[in-house]
């Protein structure tokens, strides 16, 4: 295990020895959304071999990034330690950087609930949201659906499909103010590549319910600017 080391003494090398192995950062990404059970992780990372998942979880625990905790009633969850949770701004920034290289989705690529949740988090702009009234959005892409609430410059999220335990408190009972769905259009909207009205006219984005004017607000609060 120490045989495959980089042999360098510095922060970057140490960091990628902790979280640079294949699949490791995607496990961290999912755990940033909330604690997850072994089976949840496996479902959220459909292409990970089960032995690799087991191996990574052990390494991440040994590195102090992840902790294994028994949960109230039967079962156990993996969760980030405070040290692991400190990766959040890095993973979000990496998500923004990689977002710029995204092209059209192909059939063998899928978007998971945790992937969408983190994408929305990485696109969230607190400064823009600070003065706006509290608003609930529901975003659907294929089979996944995420509910986000923007209030007081902060973002909270819940996963509706597949359902995951609420991480931002109890899921609000009432319907979202705006419900949108669509894959390709969402990416182009977040990148500022297309205006909200165009996205809807195109059919790239569908307005399921809610005031169409709220889509402008959504596009203001959630955006990932192209890298330079």
Partner DNA sequence: CCGGATCCGAATCGATACTG
Partner DNA sequence: CAGTATCGATTCGGATCCGG
In angstroms, give the least distance from the CB of 20 to DNA.
10
Q: Among 93, 130, 134, 143, which residue sits at the site for a copy of itself (rule: CB under 8 A)?
A: 93
Preceding peptide of 162 cis, ω within 30°: yes
Q: Are 140 and 179 in contact (CB under 8 A)?
A: yes
The span from the CA of 66 to the CA of 50, in Å, is 17
Does the footprint of a copy of itself cover residue 1 (CB under 8 A)?
Answer: no
Segment interacting with a copy of itself (CB under 8 A) among 93-101, 161-169, 202-210, 214-222: 93-101
CB of 31 to a copy of itself, least distance (A): 12
Among 14, 16, 17, 38, which residue sits at the site for DNA (rule: CB under 7 A)? 38
Phi, psi at residue 116, to the nearest 5°?
Answer: -70, -40
Does residue 14 belong to the site contacting a copy of itself (CB under 8 A)? yes
CA dist 91 to 25, 31, 84, 119, Å?
A: 8, 11, 11, 10
Q: Which of 52, 54, 26, 30 is nearest to 40 (CA)?
A: 30
Contacts (CB under 7 A) with DNA, residues 47-86: 47-52, 54-55, 57, 68, 75-77
Burial of 37: CB neighbours in 10 Å, binned 0-12, 13-18, 19+:
middle
**x/- track of binding to a copy of itself for residues 103-132 (CB under 8 A):** --xx-xxxxx--xx-xx--x----------
Q: Which residues bind a copy of itself (CB under 8 A)?
A: 5-18, 20, 22-23, 25-26, 29, 45-47, 63-64, 82-83, 85-87, 89-91, 93-102, 105-106, 108-112, 115-116, 118-119, 122, 224, 227-228
């Amino acid at each position: 295990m120490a045989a495959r080391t980089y042999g360098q003494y510095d922060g970057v090398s140490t960091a990628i020895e902790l979280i640079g192995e294949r699949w490791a950062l995607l496990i961290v990404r999912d755990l940033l959304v909330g604690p997850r059970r072994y089976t949840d992780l496996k479902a959220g990372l459909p292409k990970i071999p089960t032995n690799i998942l087991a191996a990574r979880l052990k390494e991440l625990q040994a590195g102090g990034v992840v902790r294994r905790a028994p949960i109230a009633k039967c079962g156990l969850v993996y969760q980030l330690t405070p040290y692991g949770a400190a990766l959040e701004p890095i993973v979000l920034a990496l998500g923004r950087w990689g977002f710029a290289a995204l092209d059209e989705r192909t059939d063998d690529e899928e978007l998971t609930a945790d992937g969408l949740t983190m994408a929305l988090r990485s696109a969230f702009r607190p400064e823009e949201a600070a003065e706006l009234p509290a608003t609930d959005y529901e975003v659907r892409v294929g089979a996944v659906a995420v509910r986000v609430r923007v209030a007081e410059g902060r973002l909270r999220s819940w996963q509706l499909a597949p359902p995951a335990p609420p991480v931002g408190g109890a899921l609000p009972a009432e319907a979202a103010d705006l419900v949108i769905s669509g894959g390709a259009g969402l990416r182009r909207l977040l990148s500022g590549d297309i205006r909200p009205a165009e996205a809807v006219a195109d059919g790239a984005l569908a307005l399921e319910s809610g005031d169409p004017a709220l889509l402008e607000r959504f596009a203001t609060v959630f955006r990932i600017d192209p890298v330079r």
